[in-house]
Structure 1
Amino acid sequence: MNKLSINSVFCAATVALLGLSTVSMAAKAPAPLTAQGEQLMASYTATLDALKKEIKAAAPKLDEKKSAAYFTAHGAIAKLPTLPNPNDLKMAPVTFCAGNPAYEEAQTNALLAARPIIKEAKAFLKGNEMHAKLAKCALLTVGAREMATFASQGTEQKSYVDLLLNDDKLIVEVMELGGAYENKFGQSIRNYKAIQKASKNAREKDFFRLWALASSLEHPDGNHVPEGKTAPEAITEYFLSYEKAYLDGELDPAFNTLTPWDCRFIFAFRPLESLVWMRKMIRNYRPDHMKLDYQWRYCRITKTDVPYTSNVPRPVRPDLNLLSMQDYFLEGGICGPRAFTGRASTHAFGIPSRPAPQTGHAALAHWTPDGWVTVFGAHWTQNRFRGQCGLDFELESRVRSKPDEYHQVHRANWLGDALDEPIVNRMRFGVGGGFWKSLAHYKKLAVVQDEDLKELATVGAEFAESNVAAISPNSDWIEEEDGPLKPKEKEFPQVELTEADKTITTDANGVITIPVAACSKPESTEKIRFMKSYDDKFVQMHYNLAGKRPELRSYTLNLPEAGKYNFTATVVTVTIDRSFTIRANRRNIHEVKVPFTLGDWEETKAVPMEFKAGKNKLQLTLKAPNKGISIKSFTLTPIK
């Protein structure tokens, strides 16, 4: 059997197929370089050409017939006829996905043909001797022009590019993390060094350092840059805020288990104050969402408190000068606001998250310890972001959980760069690409198959644009064998109460404190949830928007003598114009107006009440619409 150089194999196999390989996004005409930019570009090109020459000489020799058979099988995928959309569906049938039998067959054939090639090239793909040179070659291949443009803007800009190009270890880290968005490597290093200047941890501790680098690569122009700030200033402020939250124990317990690549997706595309507020609000208002399974953790706040409503004027209350995130909780919204709040809730606690837009619909995708999951929308097949289809992102996320295997993916991809190969189309899953670029794709498919890496099922699709409850191990709904969804009976999450949680106390001044769980029925239902505070220091009750009929909770207290008291409640709200009703001894009904606390604990205004000596009963209820209120306790202060 003949053995050919990779150049020979590539030329022999791609003559007919090269035209089928396209880049992921339409190429933009680059801006002309300045004279200094041209000089820099010439220097970078000379380095690149030397690297390519050395890499080509070291490329593995492959079996000619097997290589040609593989590349022909791969090319058959691009020739599949596009699936029709006779019903003009918004989410049209997708040709290049497992749901298309013709695609499945073609991909299976191509993977079978790719496996012996991957095995034959294993020594090269697993080796480290050319790793740094391959990484630098890949960097210059995709980034030389953008770096020349940035470096020609001034001495400072050039210093960041020089810093990168003169540090092989940093180059490898940058490229293993997936490179810079839009190939803005100089801007990314500028942001990275700004973070390191401000954070000792980002200089000295690998977890923080790689987090800073990954964030800078994903957001070279800053993730959200307020007016009056530069991108480095804005992303540094973000990093320092999250670093403090992590060190203070405010982020998710799994935060320090994130891989550097997952850290690319920690920062939101929203104002920092929105994330700080979301974290505080959930901790106070719905701490139970912090303990759900990871698929629903935090983001279930969208289901409970951001109803699906259309034609909502924005802002709902201009006079309140709210953040847009706070505004969404007043009246809800369509898929956009619901996806925004879902993403912000996960981002707030350091859970990597990213948009997952679909045709005519907004959704999100976020990290879990078991993999990435799409929430509030259709399957990965239908979503995309930043020129990458959901299927491509999801496959990458799974295989990156096996870093030794992904090392081989990098090397195949970078060898393709050295050989000037076109990339596999990032928007048409598995279509096109040169010999080694496409082989990197099949290496990922092989790892998934060999390691049995399961894709997580989409969650929340059933209420992406409705208020139907979510199906989850920790949700309130269960799918019966006969099909319809029915509410569970008496299976709502219950909290274990101590005597202190249920005991009414009176201090030396006669002030009576009634814990919210000191009622006759401290049990969670569809509407009422008893839960531990986020720090487990007390029990709170959340009266939510579920259902139309109100529920009562009764409290009994014994007083040594009759008297007048000011009644107050310690509450948290995220909506306006709320109130609840207190009936005292069946006769006197009092409406207690609830302040708009914006996620903080506050006391209601005092309402004078009169009580008799001996046994007194208080009954609490809320009228529809029952937008959520969390309550910690009630206080009765004697009126002298």
Structure 2
Amino acid sequence: MDTRRTFRATHLLTAMALGFSCASAATRAETEAPLTQAGEKLLTRYAAMLTALRAEIAKALPVVDEQRKSAYLKAREAERAAQALVNAAQQSLHKVQQAAALVDHAKGKWIGGAEKGIAAAEAALKKATTEAEREAARKELAKCQADKDAGLKALKERQEALDRAKAAEPKLKQDLKAAQETLAKAQAHTLKAASELNLEPFLASDRLDAQLVKCVVLVQATPRGLAEFAQQGTEQEALVERLLGDSGLTKQMVAADGARGGKYGRAMEIYTAIQKASPRAGEGLFQRLALAISLEHAVPIAQSNPKAQADAPATVDPVKRYLHYEKAFLDGELDPAFKDLSVWEYRNVVNGDEPDWTLAWGRQMLRNYRPDHIHTPDYRWRYVEAVRTEVAYGSQDVKNDLPTLQNYQNIIMNGGVCGRRAFFGRFILRSFGIPTIARPQPGHASLAHWTPAGWVICLGAGWGAGWTAYGKDLDFLETTQARKVERAYLQVQRAQWVGDALGEKRAYGFHSSDVSGFWNSVALYLQRAIIEKAQAVALAAVGTDIGEANESKEKETVNAATIAEADRQIVVGRDGTITIPAVACSKPTNSTARIRFMRSYLGGMQLHYCRLGAPETFEYTFEAPAGGRYALSARVVTTSAGQHLLVAANDAKEPTDIPVPFTVGMWDKTPPVEVSLVKGRNVLRFSRNEPVKGLTIKDFTLTPAK
């Protein structure tokens, strides 16, 4: 026996068990809580436990044939080289796009902006009445003219550069195609070499799972981290003991990517509290939901409260968050797919910064205001289409945010640029129980969310243009694709768990960084094989053209609504009160680009006047039992302040203004305005002065004036 080798291995395992590394020791030292005497004993115990587990796992690993391992490693190197050629070819081709963008910038923002400035300065010069005004206008005109001249010079240079790049483009495309073909062959060769390592029998077996998942918890939590938690008292120590002794629960945890920040003790504390708070939290979807919240909230999530609520909780209460979603599900308020989500998917639902009451508001608001976004069969746009239709692009109104409103209520009211719109999109998806993540890209914020067909990017460029918490977004995409094949994906995770036990750096994909660990690389090739076998397809991004624009250039299809005669029926009460359903229009008689008819959660149907589109009037033709003055009011929903509706009865020369209340997404009535009707046939004509925000109407009531 080589005692020196054994000594080195023992010391390495001990150092790894203590959780020390050159890169992170200093950071942890700043945040570590001092250990009590009991804590020191616990640290020693947990460290010894980790050392023993690592030794046991290392001993149980299959022996890999050295020749096959060498062939695999050579194939990996060849693939890396091929990938580098593809990257270089893509970068060269990207220079053509950059050159085109510079030309567009010179033509548009630079020269176009200067020309607008020249026109404005010339107009100011004509209107000037004093010498000072004329001088200021002449200076501005000279400045804008100089700016235009500089733009024209830059345009000439940029156009020449673009022409040169365009001339080289055909060859660059050929080079890229050749590099991609070489890479595809290299990837296939590496995949074959990985399969010939003959690790599948080991990775397909759950024989070592109990040791692996326990080891992963000790690695991620660190013995010291567990000791810090357990030293707080007998209850906390018991929770750690339960964690380390329940391999089934531990496996669920690490399979869902573990406790945030490695805070497994706190996760167990939350999980236990949820179990006590709800008898339903012990099995099925509610158990998965409880575990997801416990893992995700192990590190407290700061709560985004209205600024006026100074005494509101600073962080989200995880037990209340669980109870909120449990009740919402039982009340039938969440998406039908919610019941079948995994623990990992639930984590991307329950991690919002909004208070629970704001989640409830989001659901109620959309049910009242745009129920069509709830019922659309297109999962890519379900719920989140509210961003496209309701959240204006631009920051000019952000100054009007109200301190009494929560952030997401302010966003739908006042709009915002890409960040606020993506934030609202993720919020409304979480409100209905749909998993979603942030997916930023250079200079822009967008989101990605779950659909039954796979994850889709919304309001941004497609897969490959950005990143997530996992690194490059393509790595996240591949993880989601492989996770759909749950049984096979366990083999990927077992390889990662072995890598954790051996001290490898965890890798989630080949796109983010070089994968150095043997077992982590094996895991990713297994993942690639799963994806290829499943023939997974990446969904194209949606809403790319409105990521930084107010209105889409894509032509929207307006679907005709099915309106029953009962939904159009105008009712006259015994007291002469006339109730007109909003969809009982004589013009238009069905949905248009601006006016939409849709099913209502109040029963029957309702009308929505859209924020975008060409202005349009809508009319109602009806019989009045008696002529005279009537008080007209409407049952409405708004999400923005300062709304108005104009009404003209019959041949009135001027319309009457109806101030529409800011209802914050709830149903309310407009204050009554007086209109004059004649006995028999009448026409009410409604219009709006642009620009407008969205307005939903259920019905109109005409009450005879007394």
Fold-level match, TM-score > 0.5?
yes
1:202 aligns with 2:281: yes
1:359 aligns with 2:436: no
The counterpart of 1:431, out of the listed 510, 514, 520, is 514
Match of 1:17 in 2: none
> Is contact 1:335–1:362 with CA below 8 Å preserved after alignment?
yes
- Superposition pairs of residues 84-483 of structure 1, within 5 angstroms: 105-106=182-183, 109-118=186-195, 120-144=198-222, 145-203=224-282, 205-225=283-303, 229=313, 234-267=317-350, 268-292=352-376, 293-314=378-399, 316-318=400-402, 321-424=404-507, 428-429=511-512, 431-469=514-552
Change (3 A) 1:383 1:219: farther
| Residue type of the alignment partner of 1:445 | R
Partners of 1:28 and 1:105 in 2: how far apart?
A: 44
The counterpart of 2:71, out of the listed 69, 72, 75, is 69
User: Aligned to 1:580, what secondary structure does the other structure show?
Assistant: strand
Larger Rg: 2
Partners of 2:440 and 2:628 in 1: how far apart?
A: 60
User: Aligned to 2:450, what secondary structure does the other structure show?
Assistant: strand
> Is contact 2:558–2:593 with CA below 8 Å preserved after alignment?
yes
What TM-score results when the alignment is normalised by the length of structure 2? 0.78
Partners of 2:638 and 2:534 in 1: how far apart?
A: 47
Q: Post-superposition shift, 1:629?
A: 0.2
1:604 aligns with 2:670: yes
Deviations 1:169-218 (A, max 9, x none): 11111111111222111121222222222111112x22101111122212
Residues matched between the structures, number: 589
Q: Post-superposition shift, 1:574?
A: 0.5
Partners of 2:510 and 2:389 in 1: how far apart?
A: 34
Q: Post-superposition shift, 1:429?
A: 3.1
Partners of 1:77 and 1:153 in 2: how far apart?
A: 50
The counterpart of 2:600, out of the listed 521, 530, 533, is 533
Once the two structures are overlaid, the 10-residue window that deviates more, 606-615 or 50-59, is 50-59
> Is contact 2:454–2:539 with CA below 8 Å preserved after alignment?
yes
| Residue type of the alignment partner of 2:416 | G
Unaligned runs of 5+ in 2: 10-20, 102-175, 306-310
Match of 1:585 in 2: 650
- Superposition pairs of residues 486-525 of structure 1, within 5 angstroms: 487=555, 491-520=557-586, 521-525=588-592
> Is contact 1:387–1:427 with CA below 8 Å preserved after alignment?
no
Partners of 1:328 and 1:237 in 2: how far apart?
A: 25
What TM-score results when the alignment is normalised by the length of structure 1? 0.86
1:46 aligns with 2:48: yes
The counterpart of 1:628, out of the listed 691, 694, 697, is 694
Partners of 1:251 and 1:423 in 2: how far apart?
A: 35
Partners of 1:115 and 1:147 in 2: how far apart?
A: 41
Q: Post-superposition shift, 1:269?
A: 2.6
Q: Post-superposition shift, 1:530?
A: 0.5
Partners of 2:652 and 2:218 in 1: how far apart?
A: 81
Partners of 1:64 and 1:77 in 2: how far apart?
A: 20
Unaligned runs of 5+ in 1: 1-6, 12-22, 92-98, 470-484
Change (3 A) 1:115 1:52: farther
Q: Post-superposition shift, 1:317?
A: 4.3
> Is contact 1:74–1:107 with CA below 8 Å preserved after alignment?
no
Change (3 A) 1:317 1:464: closer
Match of 2:611 in 1: 545
Q: Post-superposition shift, 1:27?
A: 7.7
1:561 aligns with 2:561: no
Q: Post-superposition shift, 1:368?
A: 0.5
User: Aligned to 2:67, what secondary structure does the other structure show?
Assistant: helix
Root-mean-square deviation (CA), in Å?
2.8
> Is contact 2:576–2:703 with CA below 8 Å preserved after alignment?
yes
Once the two structures are overlaid, the 10-residue window that deviates more, 332-341 or 127-136, is 127-136
Deviations 1:530-562 (A, max 9, x none): 001146x21100001112x42121111212331
> Is contact 1:111–1:445 with CA below 8 Å preserved after alignment?
no
Higher RCO (C-alpha under 8 Å, 6+ residues apart) = 1
Change (3 A) 1:57 1:240: same
Match of 1:473 in 2: none
Q: Post-superposition shift, 1:503?
A: 1.1
Change (3 A) 1:420 1:560: closer
> Is contact 2:194–2:525 with CA below 8 Å preserved after alignment?
no
| Residue type of the alignment partner of 1:451 | A
Partners of 1:155 and 1:228 in 2: how far apart?
A: 32
Change (3 A) 1:635 1:389: same
Change (3 A) 1:327 1:26: farther
> Is contact 2:260–2:298 with CA below 8 Å preserved after alignment?
yes
> Which structure has the highest helix share of the two?
2
